[in-house]
Structures are given as C-alpha cells and as structure tokens.
Chains A and B, each alone.
Chain A
Amino acid sequence: MITSPADLADLADPRIADGRLLRFEARAMGSPLRLSVVLAGRRPRDADVASSAWLAVRREFEASERAMSRFIDTSEITGLNRQAGSGGSVALSRRLRQALTTSDRARRITQGRFDPRVLTDLERLGDRGAPLGVPAGVDEPIRASSRVVEPVVDRRFRLASPVDLGGVGKGLALRWAAASMTRLGVDAYLLEAGGDLVTRGEPPEGGPWRIGLEDPAGGTEPLAVLAFGNGAVTTSSIRRRRWTAGDRAVHHLIDPRTGEPGGAGLLAVTVVGPDPAWSEIWSKTLFLAGRTGIAGLARRRGLAAWWVAEDGSLEMTAAGRQQTLWVAGEGR
C-alpha cells in the first residue's frame, strides 16, 4: 500500500514538482512516455491514485505495442503482415481490430490520403521493422477504394497488403490510456508519448496547458506556444525520421497514392483536436497535402492546424490561431 509520494520511488520513480505535480517517465513505442498528474491535495491517497494511473498507462502502452508495433517480431501486427496477400485470416485482439477499422475509416474519410498500407514502400526505402519474409502477395498498386482489412468470420480478418500502424497506433494508445485514467478518477493530467500529447483539466497554477511547438529546423526555442484545456495535440514531422536511400533524401511520411515520401514543401504539421488518434490521422493527412494543398484542406475541415514550411515560415488556420498563446517573432 502506498502511503506517501516518497513510497512511489520503488514503483515508478516519480518526481514531484512544485508540490502539486507528480511526474512519471519511461519509454514506450520507441519514444519517451511521460505523465504529469495534478494532485488535488497533499493527501497520500492522491499520490496513490496518480501511481495507479501511471501503471494503467504503462500497461496500456505495453499492450498496444504488443498488438501494433511492426518492430517487434512477435507482435500481432507482424504476424498479420506476414499473412498479408496469402488469403489466410487471423483472429485479432480488440486493440488491433480497432486500429485497423479506424484506419479503414480514415482512408475513406480522407479519400485515400491516409492509408496504412505503405509498409512495403517504407521497407523498400530502408525503414525496416521485424522481417516479414517474402510477401505472399501485395496489392500493387494500392487501390484507394479497396478496404484496408477484410473481415472473414468469428473476429478473423485478413490483409491484402502489409500495414504500418505506427502513428495511428500511438494515437489510439493515448486514447485508451486517457480512458483508463478517467476510470480511475484522475481528471487533471498531461500525458505525452513521443511528442504527441493528451491534456485534461488544468495545470497546478490554473489556466490552460501551454504546449510548445517544436522548431523542426532544430532551434531550441518553440516556434509558437499553444494553450488549451482538454484536448489532444499531435505532430507529423520529418525532423527525426529521415535518411538517405541511394542518392536521395527520404523520410517516413509516405504518400499512399504514390508510394513515395510526400508533403512537398513542408517540415512539420501539428493538429489539435478532441481525440489523439484522429489528430494523428489529420496531421499526417495534412502533411501529405503538401504546402500547396494544406491550407485549403485544413480550412475546409475546420481543423486547428499549424504547419512549418521548408523556408521556416509558420502558418496556421483561424481555428489554430484561436488556440495560439504566443508566436515567435510576433511577441504575442
């Protein structure tokens, strides 16, 4: 039984900041996983609940990783991808089933701009996960109208093409972890997984949570500071995951319509919305629209979005401006 914040050291190595914020940190899905819980008071019970929340978050991310990570040889998705194109079906867990059906919905809603069936292209360009062996058969080229996953019978599904659920998987893990914390009664926190965040309630000092927008060119200062209460913020950026394939620079954000890295003219796109999975879907979709198409698409969809072009300029939608506290160079 945990009786004081100090007792949490053995459990999760938390750090208490300013007496009201309990912080936990670990790694999950290849990225840092951080949780900051706002304590309602100084009672041991509050710290106990925060610790339970952190354990629930860890469990959720571990389960999501086992279901959806293409880098783990024994993950569910690796097994399913190895069956892709062979006609064989696999019984799926709730998490993987939901991830695939969400991806399929996203493909329909974005008219094929978002499609997880880009794993073959990523591997071709050198971004390799767990070995899949020789693909039994790949749906080439991907048909925008065809489904990502085909239900067979008794919760068994089959894939026509291997899928990469990295981005949407992390968004879903954040969604499920947030739901776990809500069930535990934690109502003010900031949960961060590799640059994507979920916030609830207020920070200890009150007011909105303030979230910095990373400079994708590598600057130490944020390009802007966003402010909101309950929400999710995700960023699709090529700052880290880019490399050279042959004699050309490539990155991990693949346009499913071409099979090549997309988002011409852009470095990063950030979206704020109510749900982390759909914020992730839209940040990637907007990125793939490229500099010429992003403004029209974001405004038509009414998204709160920010994007950084290759020349370093920052632009945003009207909905994004409403949630912007400060912009570098504007002094506001």
Chain B
Amino acid sequence: MTETRRPLHVAAFLGLSAGAYAISLAGVTALQAQSEAAVVVDRVPTAEAIAELGARHDALEASTDRAAAAYTRAAGAYDTVGQALTDVEAQLSGLAEVVGTIQGAAQGLPSRVALPRVSRAVSAISAPKVHATTAASGG
C-alpha cells in the first residue's frame, strides 16, 4: 500500500507567497494613501484662497449696491438744491428791484439833517447806600 504523502513544502511555499503578496499589497496601499494625503494638504491653501476670493466678491457686490443707493440719494438731493437755487435766484431778482427803489428814494433825501439839541448832563447811577465798607486793615 502506497502511503500518500502530503507535500508540506508546497503548502509552505504557497503560504509564504501569499504572505509576501499581502505585504506588497499593504505597502502599495500605504504609499498610495500617503500620496493622496499629500495632494489634499497641497490643495488646502488653494481652497482657502478660493473661499476668501468668494467672500471678497460678496463684499464688493455689497459695496457696489451701497454706492448705487448713495448715488440715487445724491441725485435726489441735487434736484432739491437745484430747485432751491432757482427760488434764491428769483428772490435775488426781487431784492434787486427793492434796492433800486431804495436808491431812488435815497437820492431824494437831503444831504444834511438837523438833529434836536440834547442835554450833555448825564446822571450817573450811584452806589446804593451801604451799612459798612470792607477795606484794608489798620484804618
């Protein structure tokens, strides 16, 4: 009877091969993960810059809106001032007419006017009666 012998060395070889493969696979996987992490780290500043750019764009847009609103208000005020200036011009025209009338009246006044005589004596307001006087000592 022939005894069937198990090829133990084959099994051992297969085991070692499988182990070597697993180690190689793990190494490759680790290298790949390391590479991807480096890529992610490299991209962080770029992502932050993009986010900041977006925020600035929003602020710029808000400023533009405010400037537009201010411009609208200024335009309204300018219209009001323009109307007021028109009114002032009209009043100045009226004043010029009044001045012209006064000038005409002034030319008709005499060059000298006799004033009534006034007394030169002016009564000074004297001090109220006092009960005592505060003064330098030694009197």
Chain A positions within 8 Å of B, measured between CB atoms, are: 30-32, 34, 36, 166-167, 170, 190, 192, 194-197, 203, 209-214, 216, 221-222, 225-226, 233-235, 237-241, 268, 270, 325-326, 328, 331
Contact = CB atoms under 8 A, between A and B. Distances in A.
B4 interface: no
Given A203-B131, A239-B136, 15 more contacts: A30-B138, A32-B139, A194-B137, A195-B133, A195-B134, A212-B127, A212-B133, A213-B134, A214-B134, A233-B134, A235-B137, A237-B135, A237-B137, A240-B138, A241-B137
Contacts of A190: 131-132
A222 B127 contact: yes
Contact of A235 (B125, B129, B131, B134): B134
B128 interface: yes
A144 B75 CA distance: 72
B137 A195 contact: yes
Interface string B100-139: 0000000000000000000000000111111111111111
B135 A331 contact: no
Interface of B: 125-139
A307 to B, nearest CB: 13
A214 B127 contact: no
Contacts of B129: 210
A191 B98 CA distance: 70
Contacts of B130: 210-212, 222, 225
A126 to B, nearest CB: 15
A166 B138 CA distance: 11
A270 B135 CA distance: 8
Nearest 5 A/B pairs, CB to CB: A237-B136, A195-B135, A214-B135, A331-B125, A194-B137
A19 B136 CA distance: 30
A238 B127 CA distance: 23
Contacts of A170: 137
A192 B137 CA distance: 11
A328 B136 CA distance: 19
Contacts of B139: 31-32, 194-195, 240
